[in-house]
Amino acid sequence: MDNNDWKDRLRAAFDSVGILEKCKHETAENFKQFCEFIAEPAFEALGEELKAYGVRAKHSAARGRSICLRLSSRSSQLDGFDYTISLPRNAVEMKLRLSLRGRRTPRGPLKQKEEPFMAGIPPDRVMKITKEELIADIIERYKDFALEILSSAD
């Protein structure tokens, strides 16, 4: 066994850790850009249009880890709806998660589901999603979620 063999393995181990840390950092930066240049403009444009339907839209971000669009309306039979896109802890690629939450009445049971964000889009294409594609996904999810809650027995 070569005397420098363990040194090579040690160097390779630290190199691997460094590459992983760099990927995590780049993914976090990409998510921040996704929020700033894609999600926020989509949320704002949709929010403006929703005013015509008596629906209030508010968005918020949580420390570069998630961004949420909250829809609420006094006239709707759906009390609230949250569309939250999040970056999983220690992510090394843009495999985002989507959380949907809502309830029929203010004190009614909270319905929630979590799934991959835009499952048909690979992680390397997430940064190329258009504002319109994101808005279309939100509308479809809102419609499906509302129909599910409003047609449930609870």
Instruction: List, as one string, the DSSP characters of the chain.
Output: --TTHHHHHHHHHHHHHHHHHHHHHHHHHHHHHHIIIIIHHHHHHHHHHHGGGT-EEEEEEETTTEEEEEEE-SSSSS-EEEEEEEPPTT-SS---EEEEEEESSTTSPPEEEEEETTTTS-GGGGGG--HHHHHHHHHHHHHHHHHHHHHS--
Say what the pLDDT of residue 54 is.
87
Low-confidence ranges of the chain (pLDDT < 70): 1-3, 74-78, 153-154
Say what the pLDDT of residue 2 is.
63
Say what the pLDDT of residue 20 is.
86
